[in-house]
Structure formats: structure tokens, C-alpha cells
Chain A
Amino acid sequence: MQIDDALIAYLEDLSYLSLTDGEKLRLRGDLEKILTSMARLGAVPTDGVPERSHPFDHVNAFREDGAKASCDRQLILRNAPGGNSGNNGNSEFFVAPQTVDYDEGAEAGAGGGIGGPAEVGTEPPAPPEVE
């Protein structure tokens, strides 16, 4: 199977990864070999065979539905990158970069407040044609 740059870029977007040029080159060769080998499954007759996503038919062991204490919030937040200080000193929430603009001046006015997204995601490219 031929792996081109567009497909690698598409998979990077799907995976939230950015590969170096060297990694891309390696991955192209690896994926070609691996997917060519995997394509042999196409020869296995499976018409009418149900898909099995789990080893057994019995897939759920139920427990009683009741409220109970969960983990300690401060302990959990300590694992945020950099700990409490790295988490911008915040001991209540996980801190992430701002994703929406907030226009304070517009708050009092009509329709004020939250503006458009600060960053606009790119649409993933259309998947290549199936061979």
C-alpha cells in the first residue's frame, strides 16, 4: 500500500501528533510494510460473520448503584504538570490556555461578553480514496 504525505498529515491530525521529517520518513516505510501485510485479512471469508469486540459474550459485571466518596481533589491536582505551582498556583481546577476571547468592554453592551474562538482548528483533509 502506498503511503503519501497527505495521508501522513491526515493521521497526524487524527492523532494530535506532529512528526519530525525523520519520523515521517520512517513511518511511511513502516506503514507501507505493515498495512501491506495486514491487507491479507481481506482474503479471509467473513460474509455474515458478526464482529467481536470482546473475548466473551458476558461483558458486564454489575455493581450496586450508590454514591461514594471519590479521590481527594488536592491530591489529584498535585499531578497537574508542575504540581500546584506549575498549574498556575491553582488549587481548584486544572489550568489550560484560554480558548475563547472575552471582551470586557463589550460586557455591558448588547451581545457582549464571549467573542469568537481564539484559535480556529483546521478541517482535516478528506481521506484518500480506498484502493
Chain B
Amino acid sequence: MAMAKATQRDADTDALSLSAAIASGQARVADVVGAALDAIAQKDKQYNAFLSVGNEAAMARAREVQASIDAGRAPSPLAGVPIAIKDNISTAGAQTTCASKMLGGYTPVFNATVVDKLEKAGLVVVGKLNMDEFAMGGSSETGVNGPVRNPWDVSRVAGGSSGGSAAAVAAGEVPLALGADTGGSIRQPCAFCGVVGIKPTYGAVSRYGLIAYASSLDQIGPIAQNIDDCAALLSIISGPDKRDSTCIIDKPFPFTEIHPEHLDGVRIGRPRNYFGGALEAGTRRAVLSASEVFRAAGADVSDFEMPMMDDMVSAYYIIACAEASSNLSRYDGLKYGYRSDNATTLSEVYRLTRSEGFGMEVKRRIMLGSFVLSSGYYDAYYKKALQVRALLKNVYNDLFSRFDMILSPVAPTTAYRIGENVDDPMTMYMGDIYTVPVNLAGLPAVSLPCGFDDKGLPVGFQLIGNAFSEPALIGAARVYQDLSRGWVGP
């Protein structure tokens, strides 16, 4: 298909511009939210980014938020801004399906903590976003409602598993979205769709109400047109939560302007071996150009060799699948979601419900997880992967004694064609090679667009920092954003 020409998007479609217009009385919340709902109605047949849209609830909420603002109680810097949420994040009273037949019709009775925080901050939730089934995938093709289509080229995937979140922002349907990142699921779709995302430090954002895939790796994060919007949203969703004992941050990240004028003295490491092998030439060129922008801003950019690079995908998939096989044992056909009509005994209810309710990739990962945890294989696979994870932590500890940040590609390729890799799990898994080490070590990373490949498709890079260094990463990303082209849309 013909590639849409990249054009500079109007500056006033980003979240902070919209909220500023609302705060000053130049725009009404209902108009801004109504415009988002109209955009979804007009555009989403092409992209399939949304699984559900709550028109009436959103407009009712818009009126409530407007009343607060009119009364002089603007609850946050993003008050009145529409936002959409990945469908594995629980929303009380609104369907949450993880794009799976297994959770068809499931309506949570409670909000995820992040959703409570959005409501308190006066954002308006307009709908739930498509994804890979139970977040297991890198292309948003495995969901029961069909693939998300990339707004830059609808014959191509949007990336995954938060493909709906990235596509909805890239298409201009909503200015903000929440995604979740277990092995790259925020960063890679952002790279494929040319938008900005943050994978926060593990324990910086509550996972309460996030439907679990791999609990020691999952983390919710923001997606937007630019780093400022992401930073504003991160300041709202981050912070401690009594309902998540792994949420170890002591207070939310501040939304004060961390906007250095230059990066003099900032040490940025570039893993030399990430730039060879499977990395496509157009992606290599764009990411190397981005690193030169940092050098021009005063950063000291130097190369290093990343140890154990080729072992990370194996370690990640062993651990993630082991945790998934345990987490997904809760789907038994009794308490919520799908139940097989063909079952008569309790054993059949479990077995047939799971066989009919899960898609192939989910079954593959559950069985892989069962294998690595089973007697006779546990030590060789699961225990070994946990030891490799410990070695990786040591590697990062050493790296962050030498560097302040690490700059790398997000994915070896740009967006590939729908159907191209979906039946080849090894190729799909290897696409995560640059992103999964960050999750294994629990580190934060920012995914930023850095131009286009020869096919005209967006390329992204990531800036990785030490634990809880989000303010520094955001500051560096702001400098990069100032010196690069800024937001362009399809």
C-alpha cells in the first residue's frame, strides 16, 4: 500500500497542550473528549486498536471533570484529557478481556490502582485497547478480535503486546494510553508506531488490578506523542500502593521540569554487539544517528560489549512462561469468563474450558512453563534461568558504575507484515532480544522515535537507566526531543 507521508502534527493535539487549553477556558472537556470519541469512530475500523469504547460513560465523566475545573479544582496537570487503557488493566464496570475468549464478558468489580489514580487526577477513560492475548506476543496479532493494524501502513503489525495502545496514540485517536511491559511490550510497539513510551522501574507503578502474565516482570507504563506527556502521566500513576507489596517506590515521580539545557558529563554506553547480527541496516543507521544527537548535546557516548546477549531471550522465556503457567492456572471456568458448554464433570470443566478458551500462543507458553517447572527439568531450565538472571543483575551493576545510561535499539526490525511471523515463535521471540534484559533486571527504559527506515517505517531506540532513574532518563529524552524533529504522525 502507499505509505502516508509523514507530516508535522499540530502541536495542540498533545496531552499537555489540551489540558492547558482546558485549564485556560479555551476548550471544554466535553469537546476534547467528544473529539477523541469522534476520532475513534472515524478511524478505528482501519486500525482495530480498540476492543471497547465507553461513549456515554466518558461524556458523563467529562461533565464531572469540567464541573471540578469550573469550581477551581483542577485535579492535575492532565485534568480533562482523554486516555485509553490496555485491556489487561482492570476497570470496574467496564469489560476487561485481555483480548481472550477466556475472559469474554468479564467485568471487573474493582479498578486497578492506576485507574483509580487516573480518575482522581481528572483524566477521562474513553475505552479499552487491543493487545496480544494475555499480553503474550510481540505483534498484537494473537488477540481474539484480530490484529491491530499499524497506522503508518495498515498491512503491517503495530507491535506488541501493547499494540492497541501505541496505534491509538499514533493514529491521533487519543493523546494518551496506558500499556504494560513484560518483555518489551510498551517499548517495541512505540518503536513500530513512532510514539514515546516509558517502561518504569519494577516496583515504581502498582500492579494491583493488572491481570498477571509474569508477575516478576510486568510493569504498567505511559504511551504518548512526546516525552513531556509521558512524564506527566508517569507522575500520576507512579507511587506506593498498599495493595501491591512489590510496589517499593516511596513516593511518586515528580512532574517538575527536569529539562537540562545540555548533557555535558552524562556518560552514555552503547552496546557494540547490539548493532550487528540481526539488526536491519535502516534501524542501525537511525539509532546510531540518535546517539550522535546525544553526543552533540555534550554526552560522552562510548561503546562496550554487552555480556550474555545471546542468553537473555532464553532466560526470559523460561522465567516468563514458568510464571505464566502458574498465573493462568486461575482460569478454571467457574468464577468468571468463559466456560465450555461441553463439560459435565469438574475435570472436564477445567480441561475443556481452558482448551477452548485459550489461543495457541497462550497454550504454547503455559505448556512451556509447565515443562521448565516439571520434575526432571526444573534444575536444567528454571533454576538455571534464575541464576542467569542473577548474573545479569551483576552485569548491569557493573555497567551503571561506568555509565549513566545505555542507548540501544528497541527491536532488530521495523514493523513487519501482518501474518509474516505469527506462526514462527522462535523468530517472534528473538525480536525481543534488546528489550527483555531490562525486564529481567527490573530497570526503567524510555522508548523514543528516531526517524525512519528505507521503507518509510518508524524506528525507535531506548535509553535504559539504573533503577528509579526515571527523572534522569526523562531529562535526557527532553534534550533529545528538543534537538530532533519532534512528533510526526502518519
Output the residue of A7, A34, A37, A72 with the most chain B CB within 10 A.
A34
Is B364 positioned at the interface, with any CB of A under 8 Å from its CB? yes
CA distance A80 to B106 in the complex (A): 9
Chain A residues within an 8 Å CB radius of B363? 15, 17, 19, 23, 27
Closest-by-CB residue of B relative to A3 is B371
Closest-by-CB residue of A relative to B439 is A55
Chain A residues within an 8 Å CB radius of B350? 16
Task: Tell whether, in the assembled complex, residue A61 and residue B247 are in contact, meaning their CB atoms are under 8 Å apart.
Answer: yes
Is B273 positioned at the interface, with any CB of A under 8 Å from its CB? no
Task: Tell whether, in the assembled complex, residue A34 and residue B374 are in contact, meaning their CB atoms are under 8 Å apart.
Answer: no
CB A63 to nearest CB in B, in angstroms, measures: 4
Partner among B366, B383, B442 whose Cβ is within 8 Å of the Cβ of A51: B383
Q: Which of B345-361 contact A (CB under 8 A)?
A: 345-352, 354-355, 358, 360
Task: Tell whether, in the assembled complex, residue B380 and residue A59 are in contact, meaning their CB atoms are under 8 Å apart.
Answer: no
CB B428 to nearest CB in A, in angstroms, measures: 11
Task: Tell whether, in the assembled complex, residue B335 and residue A94 are in contact, meaning their CB atoms are under 8 Å apart.
Answer: yes
Is B375 positioned at the interface, with any CB of A under 8 Å from its CB? yes
Chain A residues within an 8 Å CB radius of B391? 44, 46, 49
A-B contact pairs, 5 of them (CB 8 A): A17-B354, A41-B384, A51-B389, A59-B248, A97-B348
CB A87 to nearest CB in B, in angstroms, measures: 9
CA distance A16 to B243 in the complex (A): 30
Is B240 positioned at the interface, with any CB of A under 8 Å from its CB? yes
CA distance A51 to B368 in the complex (A): 20
Please list the residues of chain A having a beta carbon within 8 angstroms of any beta carbon in chain B. 7, 10-12, 14-19, 23, 26-27, 30-31, 33-35, 37-42, 44, 46, 49-56, 58-63, 71-72, 75-76, 78-82, 86, 94-99, 118-119, 121, 127-130
Closest-by-CB residue of B relative to A46 is B387
Task: Tell whether, in the assembled complex, residue B371 and residue A128 are in contact, meaning their CB atoms are under 8 Å apart.
Answer: no
CB B329 to nearest CB in A, in angstroms, measures: 8
Please list the residues of chain B having a beta carbon within 8 angstroms of any beta carbon in chain A. 106-107, 109-110, 202-203, 216, 240, 242-248, 308, 310-311, 313-315, 317-318, 325, 329, 333-339, 343-352, 354-355, 358, 360, 363-364, 366-368, 370-372, 374-377, 380-381, 383-391, 393, 425-426, 429, 440-443, 467
Closest-by-CB residue of B relative to A60 is B245
Partner among B246, B314, B325, B348 whose Cβ is within 8 Å of the Cβ of A37: B314
Which secondary structure dominates where chain B touches chain A?
helix
Chain A residues within an 8 Å CB radius of B317? 34, 38
Output the residue of B375, B387, B426 with the most chain A CB within 10 A.
B387
Given the known interface contacts A23-B360, A35-B371, A79-B109, the answer about A50 and B384 at a Cβ–Cβ threshold of 8 Å is no
Given the known interface contacts A37-B314, A38-B381, the answer about A58 and B390 at a Cβ–Cβ threshold of 8 Å is no
Chain B residues within an 8 Å CB radius of A129? 376
Partner among A37, A52, A80, A118 whose Cβ is within 8 Å of the Cβ of B386: A52
CA distance A121 to B390 in the complex (A): 39
CB B3 to nearest CB in A, in angstroms, measures: 34
Chain B residues within an 8 Å CB radius of A50? 387, 390
Partner among B335, B384, B443 whose Cβ is within 8 Å of the Cβ of A46: B384
Closest-by-CB residue of A relative to B318 is A38
Task: Tell whether, in the assembled complex, residue B345 and residue A118 are in contact, meaning their CB atoms are under 8 Å apart.
Answer: yes
CA distance A38 to B313 in the complex (A): 8
New A-B pairs, 13, CB < 8 Å, besides A41-B315, A61-B242: A11-B367, A15-B370, A16-B354, A17-B367, A18-B355, A38-B372, A40-B310, A46-B391, A53-B389, A55-B443, A71-B109, A76-B109, A127-B374
Chain B residues within an 8 Å CB radius of A18? 351-352, 355
Chain A residues within an 8 Å CB radius of B440? 55
CA distance A95 to B337 in the complex (A): 14
Closest-by-CB residue of A relative to B331 is A16
CA distance A62 to B244 in the complex (A): 9
CA distance A74 to B367 in the complex (A): 35
Closest-by-CB residue of A relative to B352 is A18
